[in-house]
């Protein structure tokens, strides 16, 4: 992406945050295109190729966010894809100007942090561990659980986050094994909470 004033966008929508600490709250989502992390179970593989999605100007995105916040969105979520593949400074500055609401970010943490972010959700991947500075900066750690090896990975990640941050285990969608493992781990380790993809259960975006 050479023009700093545009970003490739998969979709924008106003819905409820379905996962994590802010689950159930009204939010405006900006899903940026581009990801090279390559999770086999990714549910947004269509977001991977940047060049298959239209470029939007940052001003237009911020105006959409402003309209959504005027209609009830409590914050904007920048997601992907892997949004930190793009420098987020211009977008987060424009969002602040147009919404006067917090800006949230969902990331795997493999790229450098950029932009002024109020809430960082870090969802680290075993095959591409995050940068230590992303672990230290995150406000909530959300580890997706499919198999037993995901649990020691979750504990290793938790050791790197700042004190008092939210620790979340989220069963992989449609994974009975993941549900059993996550529920049992949370039952035995009270520092963790279960995170469910409530938007998928409800059948909303």
Q: Which of these is catalytic: 82, 106, 111, 150?
A: 106
Q: Which of these is catalytic: 12, 44, 57, 198?
A: 44
Buried b (16+ CB within 10 A) or exposed e, 47-69: bbebeebeebebeebbebbbebb
- Other beta carbons within 10 angstroms of residue 75's beta carbon come to 21
Q: Does 108 bind ligand SF4 (CB under 6 A)?
A: yes
Q: Does 126 bind ligand SF4 (CB under 6 A)?
A: no
Q: Does 38 bind ligand SF4 (CB under 6 A)?
A: yes
8 A C-beta contact, residue 145 and residue 128: no
Active site residue 46: no
Active site residue 35: yes
Q: Which of these is catalytic: 12, 39, 155, 198?
A: 39
Q: Does 1 bind ligand SF4 (CB under 6 A)?
A: no
8 A C-beta contact, residue 143 and residue 154: yes
Q: Does 200 bind ligand SF4 (CB under 6 A)?
A: no
Distance between CA 25 and CA 122 in Å, rounded?
19
Q: Which spans of this chain sit near ligand SF4 (rule: CB under 6 A)?
A: 35, 37-39, 42, 44, 47, 80-82, 108, 125
């Amino acid at each position: 992406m050479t023009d700093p004033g545009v970003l490739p966008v998969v979709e924008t929508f106003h819905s409820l945050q379905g996962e994590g600490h802010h689950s159930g709250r009204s939010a405006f989502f900006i899903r940026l295109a581009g990801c090279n992390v390559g999770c086999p179970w990714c549910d947004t593989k269509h977001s991977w190729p940047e060049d298959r999605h239209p470029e939007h100007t940052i001003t237009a995105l911020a105006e959409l966010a402003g309209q959504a916040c005027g209609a009830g969105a409590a914050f904007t979520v920048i997601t992907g894809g892997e949004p930190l593949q793009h420098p987020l400074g211009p977008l987060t500055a424009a969002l602040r100007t147009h919404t006067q609401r917090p800006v949230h970010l969902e990331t795997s943490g493999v790229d450098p942090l950029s932009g002024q972010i109020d809430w960082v959700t870090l969802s680290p991947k075993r095959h591409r561990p995050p940068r230590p500075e992303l672990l230290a900066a995150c406000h909530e750690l959300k580890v997706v659980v499919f198999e037993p090896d995901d649990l020691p990975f979750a504990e290793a990640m938790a050791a790197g986050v700042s004190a008092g941050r939210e620790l979340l285990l989220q069963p992989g969608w449609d994974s009975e094994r993941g549900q059993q493992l996550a529920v049992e781990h949370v039952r035995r380790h009270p520092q963790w909470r279960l995170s469910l993809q409530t938007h998928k259960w409800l059948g909303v975006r």
